Structure 1
């Protein structure tokens, strides 16, 4: 079975064939799960709100100017993360998703580590993110990686905002 030593992180597009198959399926899983967790489950991508459906259908356009990282193990894309373009010395990490079959193997940590490394080379001083309060495992991961809870910049209820210096 694979573990974190078998995981390769590539910038998308580019890199391995698995990374080229890309973030679309991973983003679909992320958004469908999030909608269900919000109590607004939809049967498929067609039922997603327009902005989320657009990310799944055309991530290249949706994330133009951002960096999309894809984790792959062998020929399978197993995780993704988006790093927004730097602005005013900071960037945001979003859409972190690991295929449930690969959780607990360091995929998410590797993706966040790659995002932090990218941010450092891009001259970013602060990386921030927001995460739903019910995603306690993700919050614990972010805290282990040095993020701390900060005052919210987003008005959505149950959203936890976090940041860390690079």
Structure 2
């Protein structure tokens, strides 16, 4: 049976009326990322403090940012954070699609919504960083007009990309 629900993206409020699944999505993102970096941990308690803070209280961690959650039907399947603009530029962080829902346009919908918000907010450019082994994500970013740029981050194997809005 094929799931024919459309992907919807909603902007998360600081205090959502119900659990929108963001904490679970962030936990999955950080656990998978640590495993891919060769630093796997058994559960959220093994993550660095800064990541645990995002998971336990995303409203505080991203208080100044735009947080998007995507749904298929009523199931939270993806998230993205667009940071508050600094010097006219924002950064995309924490783009994540639940692996069971990949290939359905979730990441594209989140990126489209983030770029539209950046444009409406008068942001001149958006940047992001992505691990070099995440080739599908890099291909998506390139399709959306992002190009590789000199790194602003000292971590090895990180690809930094930018695009004007």
Q: How big is the shift at 1:17?
A: 7.7
Aligned match of 1:86? 85
Structure 2 unaligned spans of 5+? none
Query: Which TM-score applies when normalising by structure 2?
Result: 0.94
Q: How big is the shift at 1:87?
A: 1.0
- CA distance in 2 between counterparts of 1:66 and 1:17 reads 18
Say whether 1:9 aligns with 2:15.
no
- CA distance in 2 between counterparts of 1:132 and 1:100 reads 17
Q: How big is the shift at 1:2?
A: 3.0
Alignment of 1:122-141 (within 5 A): 122-141=121-140
Which SS does the other structure have where 2:64 is aligned? coil
**Contact 1:13-1:22 within 8 A present in 2 as well:** no
- CA distance in 1 between counterparts of 2:67 and 2:21 reads 9
Which SS does the other structure have where 2:140 is aligned? helix
Which SS does the other structure have where 1:146 is aligned? coil
Alignment of 1:101-140 (within 5 A): 101-140=100-139
Q: CA RMSD in A?
A: 1.6
The Cα offsets for residues 57-112 of structure 1, whole Å up to 9 and x where unpaired, read as 11001101001000001121000000000110100001000011110111100000
Aligned match of 1:45? 44
**Contact 1:66-1:84 within 8 A present in 2 as well:** yes
Which SS does the other structure have where 1:92 is aligned? strand
- Inter-CA distance 154–131: structure 2 relative to 1 (3 Å threshold): same
- CA distance in 2 between counterparts of 1:68 and 1:84 reads 8
Q: How big is the shift at 1:127?
A: 0.5
Q: In proportion to residue count, which structure has more helix?
A: 1
Which SS does the other structure have where 1:104 is aligned? coil
Q: How big is the shift at 1:13?
A: 2.4
Runs of 4+ aligned structure 1 residues displaced above 6 Å come to none
